[in-house]
Homo-oligomer: A and B are copies of this chain.
Amino acid sequence: MPKTETFDRNQVLQRATEVFHLKGYNGTSMQDLVDATTLNRSSIYNSFGSKLSMFLEVLSYYQSNVSGKIDGKLIHSHNASDMVSAIFEIYIDDILRDEDKKGCLIINCKSEITNQEPLINSFIEKSQDRMTTMLEDIVCNGQMEKIFNQNQTASQYALYLFSSIQGLRMTGIIHKNEEDLRNLIQNILKILY
């Protein structure tokens, strides 16, 4: 029988993420987490403190995975136009791979408990700030390079893109027709040119 073997924290987070993503915060029980992580109940509390604080770590883990994907794609983009397309491409992939209609963990979490848990709310606010700032930077560059128009400020376009991404991700939960979704993205991006 296993003795004092220190577990792989990232693997545990990965498995916990899958459960929370599938069932939501309130829908996930500590027993679910014990089963999914094959970690001892006491070990979870020793290492993560509580269900809520474990969920916060899961959110960070999920967020950093998404950020990693985005950075990985942005680095191969040569201009603002490619960058914006690359970001939307990530969400298309996400949607088409999401066969069981889980949606985006962060968006789900925002709609489920941002109004109930201050710690979650502040995580979400920070996450949104980071995202809109990134979008604003890209748009700003695109405008300086005359790739995007200047009918609106970079900040206004960033909010528009941020909102559109959330709409796309919510729409994609049920509507999975790739052609429709790609056309939707084309329409979303038209305003920039």
**Which positions in A face B, CB cutoff 8 Å?**
22-24, 26-27, 100-103, 107-108, 110-116, 121, 124-125, 128, 152, 156-157, 159-160, 162-168, 170-171, 173-175, 180, 183-184, 187-188, 190-191
Q: How far is the CB of A173 from chain B (nearest CB, A)?
A: 6
B111/A111 in contact, CB under 8 A: yes
The residue that A170 contacts in the complex, of B102, B167, B184, with Cβ under 8 A, is B167
A27/B112 in contact, CB under 8 A: yes
Quickly give the copy total for this chain.
2
The residue that A165 contacts in the complex, of B22, B156, B167, B190, with Cβ under 8 A, is B167
A187/B160 in contact, CB under 8 A: yes
The residue that A115 contacts in the complex, of B101, B125, B166, B187, with Cβ under 8 A, is B101
Residues on B with beta carbons closer than 8 Å to the beta carbon of A111:
103, 107-108, 111-112, 170, 173
B128/A115 in contact, CB under 8 A: no
A-B contact pairs, 13 of them (CB 8 A): A100-B115, A101-B121, A103-B115, A107-B170, A108-B112, A110-B170, A114-B173, A152-B187, A156-B183, A160-B187, A163-B170, A163-B184, A166-B167
Residues on B with beta carbons closer than 8 Å to the beta carbon of A27:
26, 112-113, 116
CA distance A11 to B131 in the complex (A): 41
